[in-house]
């Protein structure tokens, strides 16, 4: 099946079986290995991507579902060469240990801050509760998202 969608801002066409999981299209067909797979069942968040701005699990989407959608992967977040404020904050606060969960956590955080630019720590924890970090580095992740939120609010003229 020929599927056309926007990937990180660019019109993209792939010829893949309609049932192929989107995470496999990204990693294996398009070579974008920033998106990770861990559980394959929607319980870990490693494969999180943004579809039309909303955080979704790419392991639970058939390729056919992407037709016409706008997809952002971790590679697209800094497509112009400058890091997103969430990525900058993750570096500044040391919110990365092994890094495997990080692409998913960062994209979930971007969606969270889009919905709620001024979350409490509890709301950040809740908003990221679908993304598991097995290095157990949640405190620094919450610190980083809090800092990114502050920076993003400050950077937006009211």
Partner 1 sequence: MRDVILPGSLNELWRCFEDKPQAAVYAGGTDLLVGVRHGLLNPEALICLDRIEELKGVGERGGSIRIGSCATHVQLLDDPLITSHLPVLWQAIRGIGSPLVRNMGTIGGNICTASPAGDTLPPLYALRAEVELGSKEGSRRMPIAEFIMRPGATRLQRAEILAGVWVKKPGEYNLHHFEKVGLRNALACSVVSMAALLRLAPDGAVEKASLAWGSAGPTIVTCPEAEEALIGKPLSTEPLQEAAALVRKAVSPISDVRADADYRRIVAGNLLLRLANVLK
> Contact residues for partner 1 (CB under 8 A)?
17-20, 40-43, 45, 48, 54-57, 60-65, 67, 108, 112, 126-132
Nearer to partner 1, 92 or 118 (CB): 118
| 3 state SS for 107-142 | HHHHHHHHHCCCCCHHHHHHHCCCCCCCCCCHHHHH
Question: How far is it, in rounded angstroms, from Cα 153 to Cα 158?
Answer: 9
Asked if 17 and 63 count as a contact pair (C-beta separation under 8 A), the reply is yes
Shortest reach from residue 43's CB to partner 1, in Å: 5
Q: Which is nearer to partner 1, 53 or 94 (CB)?
A: 53
The encoded tokens of residue 72 equal: 């952002």
- Give me the least distance between CB of 59 and partner 1, in Å please: 8
Cβ nearer to partner 1, comparing 92 with 120: 120
């Amino acid at each position: 099946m020929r599927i056309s969608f926007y990937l990180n801002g660019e019109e993209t066409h792939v010829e893949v079986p309609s049932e192929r999981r989107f995470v496999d299209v990204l990693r294996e067909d398009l070579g974008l290995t920033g998106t990770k797979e861990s559980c394959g069942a929607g319980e870990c968040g490693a494969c999180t991507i943004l579809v039309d701005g909303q955080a979704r699990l790419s392991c639970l989407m058939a390729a056919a579902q992407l037709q016409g959608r706008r997809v952002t992967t971790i590679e697209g977040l800094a497509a112009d060469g400058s890091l997103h404020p969430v990525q900058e904050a993750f570096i500044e606060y040391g919110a990365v240990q092994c890094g495997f969960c990080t692409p998913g956590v960062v994209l979930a955080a971007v969606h969270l801050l889009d919905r709620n630019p001024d979350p409490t720590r509890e709301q950040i924890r809740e908003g990221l509760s679908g993304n598991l970090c097995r290095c157990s580095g949640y405190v620094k992740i919450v610190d980083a998202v809090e800092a990114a939120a502050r920076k993003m609010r400050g950077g937006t003229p009211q």
